Structure 1
Amino acid sequence: MARHRTRGCADIARLARSILNGKDQLHAAVGRFAAGFFAALGRPRIERVFAQELASRIPLPIDAQLTAAARGLQIAGIYTCLVNGHPLADCACLHDVLTTEGKERLHQLVRGATGDWQNLPYGVGGGVAI
């Protein structure tokens, strides 16, 4: 992965990556648990490997929330780069979203965030005064 300058959203990008990496680690742990369970039952290695792969790919109830939190942070990081006048070519959050999600998904995320931010109180990022 390319190194990005430390100014701008680098800390936000690291936090978002940590959330997504934690989600991946959680899935791997579920897979290992399933394999261990099958091993305790005395099942053949092929069944244990299959159970591990299957269990590690099953969506978990918290997946959507973790992904939404990470993507929200990344969009906030892109916004931080924009409002501070940092070149988007150096925006770690933009790079991460484009790399993992692609251009069309970035557009969807920005549209969703824009709608969400319009409801913020005045002085926090938009909206009207309370």
Structure 2
Amino acid sequence: MKQHRKSGCDDLAQLARSILKGKGRLHDGVARAAGGLVGLFGRPKIERVFAQELARRVPLPVDAQLSVAARGLQIAGIYICVVGSRDPADCACLLDVLRAEGKERLEQLMQGAMEDWRCLPRRMRDDAAG
């Protein structure tokens, strides 16, 4: 039996999407809870809906960490595609970042990643020595 093996960043792209989707579900849960709480006080539906929308938009403490994790996976996936000479039009991570962030933000993310990765060899030596 022949197995199909995904190439490039497909698994990383899926994991990043799952993280971002989970972040959205977390916000939806907080919004439902806020609306339910307002409803317990017998407030009109318009107030419950307002409370839900307000709660959905309030940044949660884990938002930044989840976004950074997802974008980091996507940037690593783009690197895998580039190193593997994959057609950029077939790079799921690249397409996802472009859709969500735009070209200018992608360039900023890639520059930041390159700076971080430039220090990796030194960090590896320091960790091995320590």
Q: TM-score, normalised by structure 1?
A: 0.89
Output the CA distance in 2 between the equivalents of 1:11 and 1:85. 17
1:6 offset after TM fit, Å? 3.5
Aligned residues: 121
Correspondence 1:90-101 to 2 at 5 A: 90-101=90-101
- The residue number in structure 1 matching 2:53 is 53
Q: Which residue of 2 aligns with 1:124?
A: none
User: Which stretch shifts more, 46-55 or 82-91?
Assistant: 82-91
SS at match of 1:106: helix
Q: What do you get for the CA RMSD once the two structures are aligned?
A: 1.5
Q: Which has the higher contact order (CA 8 A, sep 6+)?
A: 2
2:53 maps to amino acid: E
Paired letter, 1:109: L
Aligned residue type for 1:20: L
Q: Structure 1 residues 25, 81: CA separation in 2 closer, same or farther (over 3 Å shift)? A: same
Higher helix share: 2
Query: What is the TM-score of this pair, normalised by structure 2?
Result: 0.89
Partner residue in 1 for 2:44: 44
Distance (whole Å) between structure 2 residues aligned to residue 128 and residue 36 of structure 1: 49
Counterparts in 2 of 1:19 and 1:128: CA distance versus 1, 3 Å: closer
Give 5+ residue unaligned stretches, structure 1: 122-126
Q: Percent of counterpart pairs with the same letter?
A: 63
What letter matches 2:74 in structure 1?
A: Q
CA distance in 2, matches of 1:27, 1:114: 32
Query: What is aligned with 1:13?
Result: 13
Corresponding residue number in structure 2 for 1:29: 29
* Structure 1 CA distance for aligned equivalents of residues 79 and 62 of structure 2: 26
Structure label with greater radius of gyration = 2
1:21-72 CA-to-partner distances (Å, cap 9, x unmatched) read 0000000000000000001111110000000000000001110000000000
Counterpart residue number, 2:81: 81
Against the structure 1 CA distance between its residues 66 and 128, is the aligned structure 2 distance closer, same or farther, given a 3 Å change threshold? closer
- Offset of residue 119 of structure 1: 1.2
